[in-house]
Amino acid sequence: MRVRQEQFKTPFRVARAIVTNRAVQVSALLGAVMISLWNVERVPHTSVLPAVVGLLPFAIGKYVLCPLRWHALSASGRTRAWHVRAYAESEILGLISPWHAGADVWRVHRLEATGVRRSSAIASVALDRFVGAVGLVVAVAVCGITLPWTVLAGALGLAAIVLAAALVVRRRRPGLAGNLPWPSPGVFAAGVALSIGYQATILGLLIGALQAVGDSVSAFQLIAVFGASQLAGVLPGVHGASPREGALVAGLTSIGVSWTAAFGAVALTALLYWVAALLFGGGCFFLRWRGWFSDPRPAAICSGGTGTGLLVAAPVPE
């Protein structure tokens, strides 16, 4: 058992050492700027107003709704503001890593820095990811009449496999979940609702990007293409050049959008992702580096007869 635990910890130690390295963080910010500039060259002449209108609700969905979902599902004891800041910081690393894995590693690291045990931190982030995936599948299923049945069946089948794996691990290896309690039905439903709201803001961003490049399509057709492209996100790739973007371009052209407008809209969407990440994530990194936000001291685990321990830390300003 100890050998298995060490095998489990070693890859995470390496990943955490990479994402917490100051040089890596600075390189990530510089890389974000370079990718943004590269995406600018791919965007044709655009109208700024529709893009900005689409960006505003997306920023709320990404940097408010998603952190609130994580806070609702987390047992860390940290405030909503702390989750918002940690989530925003993680997006910089997530956008430059396959499967958005860098964001997950950073969030686990931030939880560990407050005294949360690693197994509990990993379980918290994994649970947030799972609820987000369920929200995506539900959002796709809601517009199932416009999706091919094979695509919808694949989405629901993937969700069923993930759920079954989570239940098996929770039953046979409860230690891997760090005794993190399963969320109540109300909390789970609230997390799924927040995920659906976030998916709606991405759709709004795409509509704004299409109008910015001078094109538009039927809302129902766009929902179908958007849902199918989101499912392509299970394949690895860096944001802006991943299978999801490729699927979205192909889907837009299949419903009558020209190749130029499709490439331009998708490139503009990727650029707006980076703009939001630099503003919110980069801003949080900078302010924390300047000492505006103080991290809580590592908590001590005290035996309280609860099976999970009590987290005790000195109060610090939030």
In the prediction, which pLDDT does 299 show?
Answer: 47
Displacement of CA 246 from its chain's centroid (Å): 19
DSSP-derived letter for residue 100 is G
Structure tokens given for 248: 């979205």
The residue that leads in pLDDT, 228 or 271, is 271
In the prediction, which pLDDT does 159 show?
Answer: 58
In the prediction, which pLDDT does 88 show?
Answer: 95
Average pLDDT, the chain: 76
Q: Among 173-187, 248-262, 266-280, which stretch is predicted with the lowest mean pLDDT?
A: 173-187
Q: How confident is the model at residue 315 (pLDDT cuts 50, 70, 90)?
A: very low
Does the structure show a pLDDT above 90 at 147? no
Comparing CA positions, the residue from 82, 81, 116, 53 lying closest to residue 272 is 53
Structure tokens given for 273: 């992702």
- CA 282 to CA 83: how far, in whole Å? 15
In the prediction, which pLDDT does 300 show?
Answer: 44
Q: What residue segments make up the domains of the chain, in order of their start?
A: 2-291
The residue that leads in pLDDT, 227 or 282, is 282
Q: How confident is the model at residue 37 (pLDDT cuts 50, 70, 90)?
A: low
Q: How confident is the model at residue 89 (pLDDT cuts 50, 70, 90)?
A: very high
Q: What is the pLDDT of residues 232-253, one digit of tens each?
A: 766 666 676 778 888 888 889 9
In the prediction, which pLDDT does 309 show?
Answer: 33
In the prediction, which pLDDT does 173 show?
Answer: 67
Q: How confident is the model at residue 120 (pLDDT cuts 50, 70, 90)?
A: confident
In the prediction, which pLDDT does 228 show?
Answer: 73
pTM for the model stands at: 0.76
Q: Among 40-44, 78-82, 272-276, 309-313, which stretch is predicted with the lowest mean pLDDT?
A: 309-313
Strands 310-312 and 300-302: antiparallel
Q: Among 80-84, 162-166, 314-318, which stretch is predicted with the lowest mean pLDDT?
A: 314-318
The secondary structure of 118-129 as a DSSP string is HHHHHHHHHHHH
Does the structure show a pLDDT above 60 at 8? no
Comparing CA positions, the residue from 221, 200, 216 lying closest to residue 262 is 216
Cα–Cα distances in angstroms (integers) from residue 82 to residues 34, 99, 273, 291, 306, in the given order: 28, 24, 22, 14, 25
Q: What is the pLDDT of residues 160-219, one digit of tens each?
A: 665 666 667 667 766 655 555 678 899 999 999 999 999 999 999 999 999 998 888 887
Q: Where are the beta strands (DSSP E) in the chain?
A: 300-302, 310-312
